[in-house]
Amino acid sequence: MMATPEPTLLLDEQLCFALYAASRRMTATYRPMLEALGLTYPQYLVMLVLWERDGLTVRELGERLQLDSGTLTPLLKRLEQADLVGRRRRQRDEREVEITLTQAGRNLHERALDVPRCLANRLCMSADDFIRLRDELKSLAAQLAAPTQERDQNP
């Protein structure tokens, strides 16, 4: 029986670095396309969420994107400056800030449809491989988000 190979500290063998490098490269690939829309990559993600469902609170946006208010608040203020979203406290709970698309924000949706198309062309990857890789990454993130097996054994 073969033993599991001992993990090393060699950069090229690390999954973490492959992930980190690929993620930054992906963002860099989006950058010129998004620049044409006046968006950064994290701003684009916020717009994706709002195009699906408008009027979410900062908390709900944060749950969807796994980002906290320290990241979202200034980002949303910049989107507000760009007249793509509005921010206002909810009357039923003044702690919550609701983010709504402006007309300009809604209008941007159509132009953004080209972005995933452009990227799909760039990838030279079958739809099956695309879906498989995407779902493996989701599964990996879920694994890492879950508490460790060892923890919480004794309540």
Partner DNA sequence: AAAAATTATATTGTGCACAATTAAATTTGA
Partner DNA sequence: TCAAATTTAATTGTGCACAATATAATTTTT
In this structure, what are the phi and psi dihedrals at residue 60, rounded to the nearest 5 degrees? -65, -40
Nearer to DNA, 123 or 141 (CB): 141
Nearer to DNA, 63 or 136 (CB): 63
Stretch of 75-83, 84-92, 96-104, 138-146 contacting a copy of itself, by CB under 8 A: 138-146
**Dihedral class, residue 87 (left if φ above 0, else alpha if ψ from -120 to 50, else beta):** beta
User: Contact between 72 and DNA (CB under 7 A)?
Assistant: yes
Stretch of 58-66, 75-83, 86-94, 96-104 contacting a copy of itself, by CB under 8 A: 58-66
User: Contact between 1 and a copy of itself (CB under 8 A)?
Assistant: no
User: Contact between 105 and DNA (CB under 7 A)?
Assistant: no
- Chosen residue from 124, 153, 154, 155 binding a copy of itself by CB under 8 A: 124
Q: Which residues pair with 100 in a beta bridge?
A: 86
- Chosen residue from 33, 43, 84, 85 binding DNA by CB under 7 A: 43
Stretch of 74-82, 107-115, 126-134, 136-144 contacting DNA, by CB under 7 A: 74-82
Contacts (Cβ under 8 Å, ≥6 apart) of 6: none
- Chosen residue from 13, 73, 119, 136 binding DNA by CB under 7 A: 73
